[in-house]
């Protein structure tokens, strides 16, 4: 074995030995109690339950209600799957609530083309929500095309903001 190989072996072995040496048994050094000494300690809350954490995460995700699209595209990006899953979870737990998916476009293109593109964007979001169990009765799709821009400027940054679907809750 070369010196270099020996050095690598030592570098690998030493941390492992250190971990084993530090992982000694935890022995209880407190004296045993007798029946007359037995007392109950108050339970200290350990934090939110898993269900509470999920509810908090879903509530936070419902605050984000916009899905953005690439130019001339109605494909929902993978980065929005968890967001839409959270919205679907909320809608499935609240069947009386309805959502309007508003499809929007930037100003480039004809008004007719942008209305159709906005509808395709809304339908893409609707289809994903339905794939997670939301009923079609809870979802309505409306296209505004280029009519309601989020940013009225005429540059790429504004156009990126305007290529979107927005989830608007009712009920």
Tens of pLDDT, residue by residue over 60-115, are 766 899 999 999 999 999 999 999 999 999 999 999 999 999 999 999 999 999 99
Judge contact between 111 and 87, C-beta under 8 A: no
pTM score, two decimals? 0.68
Under CATH, what is the fold of the domain 66-170?
60s Ribosomal Protein L30; Chain: A; (3.30.1330)
In the chain, domain spans: 66-170
């Amino acid at each position: 074995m070369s010196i270099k190989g020996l050095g690598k072996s030592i570098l690998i072995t030493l941390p492992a030995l250190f971990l084993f040496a530090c992982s000694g048994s935890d022995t209880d050094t407190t004296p045993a109690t007798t029946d007359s000494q037995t007392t109950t300690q108050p339970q200290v809350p350990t934090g939110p339950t898993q269900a509470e954490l999920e509810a908090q995460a879903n509530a936070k995700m419902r605050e984000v209600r916009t899905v953005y699209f690439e130019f001339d595209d109605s494909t929902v990006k993978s980065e929005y799957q968890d967001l839409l899953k959270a919205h679907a979870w909320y809608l499935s737990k609240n069947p009386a609530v309805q959502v309007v998916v508003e499809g929007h476009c930037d100003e480039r293109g004809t008004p007719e083309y942008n209305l159709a593109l906005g509808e395709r964007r809304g339908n893409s979001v609707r289809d994903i929500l339905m794939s997670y169990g939301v009923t079609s009765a809870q979802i309505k799709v409306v296209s505004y095309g280029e009519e309601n821009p989020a940013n009225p400027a005429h540059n790429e940054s504004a156009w990126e903001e305007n290529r979107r679907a927005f989830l608007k809750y009712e009920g």
